[in-house]
Amino acid sequence: MAALKRHPKKIGVGGAIITPYAKRLVNRVLNSGRISYGPMLKRFEQEFARVCGRKFAISANSGTSALQVAFHALKEKDGWKDGDEVIVPAITFVATSNVVLQNGLKPVFVDVDPYTYHIDPKKIEAAITPRTRAIAPVHLFGMSADMDPITAIARKHKLRVVEDSCEAVGVSYKGRPVGADGDIVCFSTYMAHLITTGVGGLALTNDPDLAVRMKSLVNHGRDSIYVSMDDDKGLKGKARFEVANKRFSFISVGYSYRMTELEGALGIAELKYLKKNIKLRQRYAAYLLKGMKRYEGFLQLPTRPDNREHAYMMFTMVIKDPRLFTRDELVAWLEDWNVETRYMMPLINQPVYVGMFGNLEPKYPITANINHHGFYIGCHPEMDKKHLDYILAVFAAFFKNKGLVAENKK
């Protein structure tokens, strides 16, 4: 280990590969002179919906924006009142809960499964009250939550289901595409995600009314008769005038959440390579799992139930015994050796949430453990075997430095 040399560049948690195909599609957009919503973005929406087994896909400028309009549309359609409740996992990216608050609703947190880190279905019903209107399961780290019991609970209590699938796409749950179950499912195409367009997101549904509402909300709340400059194409007479007359007709207090043709072009290219890239992530994860099996006494490594595929958007770990070493010690070591890390989506201990709700961690012990002892590293197509071997060597050096002898399991 004394011969270990620091990697010259940080091995990040994710990135983007701009393929020649992507560049051709982007240049096609630039040469067309059309940047606003058009054929490229429409094609991306249609292809994305097909991958996810959904009828309608509405593009937005982020996964957060997609979630925002999803809850807004349901609140409008179902007549929810301010202060009505949405069940949210206690481990998720802050945006899942933020959009609930921003829609005048109240997040009610539920603890997570200790191995998959998804909302624990067995704990949901205890959180339901007469004001509960929806459950928002989150598909974290590249894998689906356990949706069958969640949707059964939702049907029993007549609740909506809004899936936050910003970290999982292109994998299956019991043979179904991730995100195929809820009333609405939202995805992100932000940097370092499984599909990357720089910025972007999509809200998918099978409900035509919700699709129209969300499309309108993304476009300032505009009357859905005109949300694209192509909407009057081929029309004549009264039909053409009806569209022209409603170009500035707004039926909701909406948002400017539109994506452009450029992101649509990048998205089409990303979809072409999605299966290949997921296979690379799975191969790299398998390599890391094999190399780190000797540390299972110290680290909880990624777990995948038999009924789910895993895209390994991240490679997660939780310290098992902080008396031996802390997360801070290991994370500091990795960062010093140019291996980038992130914490595992801490939410309820964030300063803003502590200010609003107080100290919630005693109510959610599994979440609290992950908040204080969990982290992840990268596992993505921009890496190669040399990166993986270097990461394994850095972990080996840490355990040697700590005087901890790990069993060499094969």
pLDDT, tens only, 68-115 = 999 999 999 999 999 999 999 999 999 999 999 999 999 999 999 999
Same domain (yes/no): 37, 103: yes
Distance separating alpha carbons of residues 211 and 135, to the nearest angstrom: 19
Same domain (yes/no): 320, 242: no
Has residue 260 been placed in a domain?
A: yes
Q: What is the DSSP string of 282-335?
A: HHHHHHHHHHHGGGTTTEE-----TTB-B--SSEEEEES-TTT--HHHHHHHHH
Contacts of 33 (CB under 8 A, 6+ apart): none
Same domain (yes/no): 267, 283: no
Same domain (yes/no): 334, 249: no
Has residue 376 been placed in a domain?
A: yes
| pLDDT values of the chain reduced to their tens digit, one per residue, 410 residues | 457 999 999 999 998 999 999 999 999 999 999 999 999 999 999 999 999 999 999 999 999 999 999 999 999 999 999 999 999 999 999 999 999 999 999 999 999 999 999 999 999 999 999 999 999 999 999 999 999 999 999 999 999 999 999 999 999 999 999 999 999 999 999 999 999 999 999 999 999 999 999 999 999 998 875 566 666 677 677 767 676 666 778 889 999 999 999 999 999 999 999 999 999 999 999 999 999 999 999 999 999 999 999 999 999 999 999 999 999 999 999 999 999 999 999 999 999 999 999 999 999 999 999 999 999 999 999 999 999 999 999 999 999 999 997 555 54
Longest dimension (CA), the chain: 82
Domain total in the chain? 2
Has residue 408 been placed in a domain?
A: no
Q: Between the CA of residue 97 and those of 110, 117, 310, what are the distances in Å?
A: 12, 16, 24
Domain range spanning residue 111? Answer: 20-272
Has residue 409 been placed in a domain?
A: no
As to burial, measured by CB atoms within 10 angstroms (0-12 exposed, 13-18 middle, 19+ buried), residue 33 is exposed
187 sits in which H/E element? strand 184-188
Q: At what angle do helices 385-401 and 327-336 cross, to 10 degrees?
A: 130
Side-chain-facing half-sphere of 350: CA atoms under 13 Å? 17
What tokens appear for 60 in the block? 């937005």
Same domain (yes/no): 241, 362: no
What tokens appear for 115 in the block? 């191995």
Same domain (yes/no): 229, 300: no
CATH code of the domain containing 169: 3.40.640.10
Same domain (yes/no): 91, 44: yes
Bridge partner list, 11 = 339
Side-chain-facing half-sphere of 46: CA atoms under 13 Å? 6
CATH code of the domain containing 381: 3.90.1150.10
Q: Please tell me whether the overall predicted TM-score, pTM, comes out greater than 0.85 for this model.
A: yes
> What's the distance, Cα to Cα, between the start and end of the chain in Å?
21
**Percentage of residues in the chain with pLDDT exceeding 70?**
94
Distance separating alpha carbons of residues 117 and 108, to the nearest angstrom: 17
In this structure, the strands spanning 160-164 and 172-173 are unpaired
Same domain (yes/no): 243, 282: no
Q: Which residues of 114-148 are buried (b: 16+ CB within 10 A; e: fewer)?
A: eebbbbbbebbeebbeeebbbbbbbbbbbbbbbbe
Q: Are 120 and 112 in contact (CB under 8 A)?
A: yes
Same domain (yes/no): 245, 135: yes
| pLDDT of res. 280 | 97
Same domain (yes/no): 254, 280: no
The type of residue at 165 is S
Same domain (yes/no): 90, 144: yes
Has residue 159 been placed in a domain?
A: yes
Has residue 175 been placed in a domain?
A: yes
Helix (H, G, I), strand (E, B) or coil at 391: helix
Q: At what angle do helices 20-32 and 39-51 cross, to 10 degrees?
A: 140
Q: Last residue of a domain, which of 228, 248, 272? A: 272
Q: Last residue of a domain, which of 234, 257, 272? A: 272
Contacts of 259 (CB under 8 A, 6+ apart): 37, 41, 59, 60, 61, 197, 199, 200, 201
Has residue 11 been placed in a domain?
A: no
Q: Last residue of a domain, which of 256, 272, 288? A: 272
Same domain (yes/no): 255, 326: no
What tokens appear for 378 in the block? 């990268």
Has residue 8 been placed in a domain?
A: no
